[in-house]
Structure 1
Amino acid sequence: MTHQTTFNETIIALATPSGMGSIAVLRLSGENAIEIVNAHFKSKFASKDLTKVKSHTIHLGHILDGNRIIDEVLVSVFKNPNSYTGENVVEINCHGSIYIQQEILQLFLENGCRMATNGEYTLRAFTNGKLDLLQAEAVADLVASDSKASHQIALQQMRGGFSSEIENLREQLVNFASLIELELDFSEEDVEFADRTEFKRLVDKISHVLKRLIDSFAIGNVFKNGIPVAIVGEPNVGKSTLLNALLNEERAIVSDIAGTTRDAIEDEIAIDGVTFRFIDTAGIRETEDVVESIGIKKTYEKIDQAQLVIQIVSAENIAFNDEILKQVQNDVKSLKENYPTKKLLVVLNKIDLLDSEKLEKLIDQFENCIALSAKNNVGITELTTQLTDLVNIGALSNNQTIVSNSRHFEALTNALKSIKEVEKGMELNISSDLIAIDIRQALFHLGEITGAVTTDDLLGNIFANFCIGK
């Protein structure tokens, strides 16, 4: 999708979700938005000309199709440039009847408006300098946020914290780039305008900041999409019961028959503002059942995708059988060796079947261990607390810039590659014209993030993912 929009047209769309509700909001934007609404609006208490009212005011009245009243509405007027899009904007608050929504929409489509495309209001805001591209994308993330963490990241980016950090780096790099470009004009005179020592300090600083932002993507991406947690273990140790206890609902089938879970079952829960995606996997064991074997294969795939792994063990089984205990310890060791980057938590389930002395001895056998009874809902709070402790939310708590958008991550990675080439060129003392090429590349990739550098295809891909009313 490519946006080739003529911004002299007035657009209209429903800004609230489609369907029936108590109220609905229709939004118009464009040079003639106020005049178009004014031609079909009659104030309830006094004759009002919407074109002459003050900006950021609300007016009660009726929307008329000729002499026919469609609905009693509240009309909000926002005059350019002090509006979301930077254009004249009118928002009509009507009753939530689908019939009323469609009647008002059709009225204005027949009288000077056209339907807005996906994300066109925010595209106009970007084009008119009300938002940079990074902030515009944060609007979509804010609308889609479903946890405190994802909301906080989107809000921080929309306020411009990330943008100002990128623009500051870019501005400093532009200053030095201009001095190096100037040297090229005097190349025959062998003149240096850019202080190489100071330039190296700047490049080191930019490299450090880019690395920090790139590293933050590992946190930001999971905060935005939810932290995947794989619940693994042998059949009948209580994986499905634990999932049901965490979700406080009967989400997974629980049975005494080994191998009941044949496929991965997923669901989400917010804990302390962070979304966790719990995945109940098929029990890992030797089996000749073809369907169960496929489920076990999927278990290993889910472990690959997970950030955290809960190894659940039946406390009853290992308390009375040293051989099973040793096997479980080997399983935990194997998980740590095969997935060294995963955070592993051992959960001893069915503790209601043991006395306290035996339980304490078992807990000592494992590192990073929680004891609980999923069936009796004992120890679940301690488990959720431990899960949040294992997640690095320090950067979020300290309001640091966190990258959560894969497009930004790619641009930052490319910018860092170019900066590394600049560093390499300075170490080898190569000519200024070659260094200038790498600097231009770094500037290009930094500009991609905020929209200082754009293409129609890039804008099309970004704004096509917005809802129509935004």
Structure 2
Amino acid sequence: MTNKLSGWQDTIVALATPPGVGAIGVIRLSGDKAFGIINTLFSSKDLSGKPSHTIHVGLIKDKGKLIDEVVVSLFKGPKSYTGEDVVEISCHGSPYVQQQVLHACVNHGARMAKPGEYTQRAFLNGKLDLTQAEAVADLIASNTAASQKAALYNIRGGFSEVLKTLREELISFSALIELELDFSQEDVEFADRKKFYELIRSAKTTTTQLLNSFQLGNVIKNGVSVAIIGKPNAGKSTLLNTLLNENRAIVSEIAGTTRDTIEEVLNINGILFRLIDTAGIREHSTDSIELVGIERSLEKMKSADVVLYIFDVNQISAEELKVIADMLQQNNNTVILVGNKADIATTNEIKNKFSGINNIHFISAKNKTGIDELKGVIFKSTVHELPSSESVIVTNARHQQALQQVERSLNDIEAGLNNAIPGDLLALDIRRCLHYISEITGDISNEDVLDFIFSKFCIGK
């Protein structure tokens, strides 16, 4: 891809490690002037003739003033992350020292990098395609084993390889159809329509699988919101504390103790579930603060992916529970009914009481019985199985939207084949399909889209 974005010729510098005090800080230079700048600042030896992928210990000085003793790593383009000459300066982790090194680099011709500019240059220089570049940001943001696996597989080109294969097959058939148009007077057919039809069916299957994976990908990337709702004193806060194995929420016998929502994160099998303990929902309350809490509880319930409706098995009838369950199902949430305060000695009696209602999970939040089983139910309600390390999982909403357009284009191509439409119209549909595939990989893109994508990266990456 030809580099046309403004400022890409500049030599850039930024702190590549998190800001703040630490043992070391790594400052990264990238661009044509990177080696010249470091050679000017590094007083211990001449680095101009040193080979790539070597490290050197010495002193950094600016205008004769000693700044720090550092370790310098050299990476000559194109065998570097960005494809350009790259220098990494490992200095001591004092914020003051780091700023002094950055200022020295800027004083000698570098400019401060924008968010994501290093990865953007890697993309522009052909080191990564756009899906791999976006996976870098996903890996940096990953906080579970599942999100790490998905990002690593995409960085290694798993998703890109699927799209590349599909794109190449479509291009080959498109070329044959275009050739037919050149010989339209001869009435010849270079593209085997039967094989092309099989290709389209295969491509549709692949695209559908990718689109279906987005639901799981979204869960892996963003987690699952779980609203714990119920009447006052049903045991919502006790359940939250038990799931987290810590006393996060205040528990008391006084109805309406929880006045506002409390949010915490629970990791189940590598997936993050954001638990939201809500104020108890009751119809007749005169407490203005409690009423605000109840209103927020209802809002959280509507926006949650999963609703845990917890009820006291001793304080509700089967008829009332059935009415509540039917009402909750109307909000299009995944609803899990949790019967709390189920004493082991009376379990069979309680189960018989609610025998006409399916999918109730009985627990004792106080005694911590049935909790592991409930965690399994919560997990399976949104994640049927975890992906393997070699699974392509779509986690990016931009990719999903483009794949939806690919699917529509493939449907149009298939319809065109069924109706034997002319080759020129068929070629248009193929070009449209190729356009959306190329949008995902970045083979075609515009500066505004790239700026938006890379602006979400941290500075220094």
Provide the TM-score with structure 1 as the length reference.
Answer: 0.91
Specify the alignment match of 1:445 in structure 2: 436
**In the alignment, which of 163, 166, 173 is matched to residue 166 of structure 1?**
163
Q: Aligned-pair distance for 1:437?
A: 1.2
1:25 CA drift (Å): 0.6
C-alpha contact 1:316 1:354 (8 A) present in aligned 2:
no
User: 2:434, 2:460 → 1: CA distance?
Assistant: 33
2:412 alignment partner in structure 1: 421
The answer to whether the 8 Å contact 1:134/1:450 transfers is yes
2:33 maps to 32
Matched, 1:332 2:325: yes
Does the 8 Å CA contact 1:314/1:349 hold for their aligned counterparts?
A: yes
Aligned-residue offset at 1:52: 1.9
Aligned residues: 457
Q: Distance in 1 between matches of 2:67 and 2:432?
A: 56
Q: Tell me how far 1:54 sits from its aligned partner.
A: 2.3
Q: Superposed, which structure 2 residues align to 1:257-268 within 5 Å?
A: 257-268=254-265
Q: Deviations over 1:391-412 (max 9, x none)?
A: 4353513632110100000000
Shift of 1:365: 5.7
361, 364, 389: which is aligned to 1:370?
361
1:142 aligns with 2:139: yes
- The one-letter amino acid paired with 2:427 is A
Residue 76 of structure 1 and its aligned partner are, at CA, apart by 1.0
2:36 and 2:384 map into 1 onto residues whose CA distance is 50
- The alignment status of 1:388 with 2:379, answered yes or no, reads yes
Find the aligned partners of 1:314 and 1:422 in 2 and give their Cα distance: 57
**Is residue 180 of structure 1 aligned with residue 188 of structure 2?**
no
Q: Following TM superposition, by how much is the alpha carbon of 1:374 offset from its aligned partner in structure 2, in angstroms?
A: 2.1
Cα deviation, residue 36, structure 1: 1.1
Residue correspondence of structure 1 range 294-443 to structure 2 within 5 A: 295-318=293-316, 324-336=317-329, 338-339=330-331, 342-352=333-343, 355-359=346-350, 361=352, 366-394=357-385, 396-397=387-388, 399-443=390-434
> Aligned-pair distance for 1:311?
1.9
The offset of 1:327, in angstroms, is 1.0
What displacement does 1:107 show? 0.7
For the pair 1:230 / 2:227, whether they are aligned, the reply is: yes
List per-residue Cα deviations over 1:19-65 (Å, max 9, x = no partner).
1112111000112212211221134xxxx432222222221111112
Matches within 5 A, 1:447-462: 447-462=438-453
Is residue 254 of structure 1 aligned with residue 251 of structure 2? yes
C-alpha separation between the residues in 2 aligned to 1:288 and 1:242? 23
RMSD of the alignment, in Å?
A: 2.3
> Which moves more between the two structures, 156-165 or 302-311?
302-311
The alignment partner of 2:234 has SS state of: coil
Q: Which residue of 2 aligns with 1:95?
A: 92
Q: Percent identity?
A: 49
Gaps of 5+ in 1: 319-323
**Is it true that 1:82 corresponds to 2:73 in the alignment?**
no
Match of 2:456 in 1: 465
Residue in 2 that maps onto 1:321: none
Task: Tell whether the 8 Å contact from 2:149 to 2:389 is kept in structure 1 after alignment.
Answer: no
Instruction: For 1:238 and 1:8, locate their aligned partners in 2 and report how far apart those are by CA, in whole Å.
Output: 62
Write the distance in 1 (CA, Å) between the matches of 2:396 and 2:451: 16
SS state at 1:351 partner = coil
Q: Which amino acid aligns with 2:8?
A: F
Question: Do the aligned partners of 2:54 and 2:75 also contact (CA within 8 Å) in 1?
Answer: yes
